Chains A and B, each alone.
Chain A
């Protein structure tokens, strides 16, 4: 119970701080919308072409937009040495991590929630019929992205080149998770049921479970050494 209270405390603190400044979420939102619009106008894809590359396009946009949010996650703790105060508190590092990962998840889901209608309109893709399966895939894929990204955000927080290191580490580690998310999204946007791509769903769930367990186990070592 105490663990979840600490998680909730960190989650609400991070969301409140971000919603007051909006520095990460505004940048992420602007980036995602700009890329979606530019590609739509630059290539003017047909409906069939869109179905083929929709998964790749959406998840590349989400992955790049995520870095703008994830980079701020632990970097937010650096001014005034706030990370020291968090580490010195009795809250377990895993609760602090989970609070931050959930905060990043909500922020990124908010950006994605705006991207989907824009994607639907500008690429002429009707995804609303697949809303619930798509929501499941988006939440699972985004959780993988945030749990790995938040871990690497903690790992790179004290190095000068963290803005460069985070994407390098994140994208290479995320290849299996992004691949599964892309495949599932392509299937769903083509109107196929989730059951036809069940192996990818299991793969994505496995990815999320493994990296969540690894992150919660090793985050104390990452933060304190």
Chain B
């Protein structure tokens, strides 16, 4: 049996004495899209940062694609798009993508950069500095950066926040193509409607506990507040 894309066992994270995550246990199968829901402060970003290897858990274990979170082979197959766009303001669009293409050891970074600039509609401004870009252009470039190396697992932290219509369409298209190619996606979001259009599974966090984890039900698509209401979080 193939290893789960993400396997989380009895995960706890403490900030001082406060448990930001408590007894989190779940698996994410390869090729699925998990929408991670929860109110502000529920622990979504903390969980995603643990999955990305940006911090260590207080207790418990995380396995990504069958290996440890900080293993080089894991990081080579992981794409992350967090709250920040993770792009250098003083570098151009193509320089930013080329930098990450080199760090991810792409065999032909220049070709990958050209392809992704075309896909996100930024070929025309490839030599423009990021500091001169609009918010929507930055977000599209950030999407290209996260998917540039063809990751097997992508972690997206509120990816639809502050996106314009065009950037939302680009992101949804990129995620759909990624899923079709077998990529696993985990995204935390408050934009439930946009997320549910893509999600195959959903999880609900509240005060650091995992209240629900399972397939996306039709009711979740029809009513964005349905899952919250089922667990008294409306």
Which residues of A come within 8 Å of B, CB atoms? 2, 5-6, 9-10, 13, 16-17, 20-21, 79-82, 84-92, 220, 224-225
Contacts and interface: CB of A to CB of B under 8 A. Distances in A.
Given A88-B54, A225-B55, A9 B103 contact: yes
Nearest to B155: A88
A20 B90 CA distance: 7
B53 A13 contact: no
A82 B53 contact: no
A84 B72 contact: no
A89 B100 contact: yes
A217 to B, nearest CB: 15
Contacts of A86: 103
Interface size class of chain B, counting residues whose CB lies under 8 Å from the partner chain: 20 to 34
A2 B90 contact: no
A225 B70 CA distance: 12
25 contacts: A2-B105, A5-B102, A6-B102, A9-B99, A9-B102, A16-B91, A16-B95, A17-B90, A79-B89, A80-B88, A81-B82, A82-B87, A82-B88, A84-B86, A88-B78, A89-B75, A90-B73, A90-B75, A90-B104, A91-B103, A92-B72, A220-B70, A224-B55, A224-B56, A225-B56
A2 B103 CA distance: 9
Interface string B76-97: 1010101111111111000100
Given A88-B78, A90-B72, A224-B55, A17 B84 contact: no
Main secondary structure of the interface of A (DSSP, over half): helix
A10 B90 CA distance: 14
Contacts of B52: 84, 88
Contacts of A20: 90-91, 129
A80 B53 contact: no
A16 B78 CA distance: 27
Contacts of A224: 53-56, 70
A224 B100 CA distance: 19
B145 interface: yes
